[in-house]
Amino acid sequence: MNMPAGWYADPFTDHLQRYWTGDSWTKETRPLAPEPTPAEAPPVTTDGQPVVVRDYLVVSILTLIFCFWPLAIPAVYFAARANSAKSKGDLAVAVRYSERARLFIMLSLVGGALVALYLGFVVFTQGTDGLGLLGEVT
């Protein structure tokens, strides 16, 4: 089999190219051209479908208003970061921030539910006087 003249991977080293004249190898070498590295592939599910990134921004703002706000503040922060990363096309970072936003949304919902249960328990067992909202009436 005759190979046309040209630069080929050096059969003697791994990191160089050597020039083939068509009949023999020459002493001329050059660094092996680096193989192009593909851009970071977007995350895919186990069945090969691309991951849909939800930023949870609206949901996190709603939990900030209606649920346990101390835990909703990080949810809003991470949701905004996920939204920003998604708009830049950095899906791996967007997925990471999206997961964190979802975690803090869930924690805020649980915290809000616990506070509501506690207040309901206080009102049920002590009436509205247990909340201390009205003060002492004389």
For the chain, 138 residues long, give each residue's pLDDT as a single digit of tens: 578 888 888 888 888 898 989 888 899 999 886 665 555 555 566 676 766 788 888 888 888 888 888 888 999 999 999 888 888 878 888 888 999 999 999 999 999 899 889 888 888 888 767 676 665 555
| Residue 108 near residue 62, CB atoms below 8 Å | no
Neighbours of 105 (CB within 10 A): 24
Tell me whether residue 115 is in a domain.
yes
Q: Is the pTM of this model over 0.75?
A: no
- Both tokens of 71, joined, read 């835990």
* Domain-located, residue 83: yes
Q: State the residue range of the domain holding 76.
A: 57-129
Cross-strand partners of 44: 50
Q: What pLDDT is attached to residue 103?
A: 92
Q: What is the pLDDT of residue 35?
A: 63
Looking at the domain assignment, is residue 38 inside a domain?
no
Give, in degrees to the nearest 5, the angle at Cα 52 between 71 and 101.
5
CA 73, CA 59: separation in Å to the nearest integer?
A: 12
In a domain, 119, yes or no: yes
- Within a domain: residue 5? no
Provide the 8-state DSSP code for 51.
P
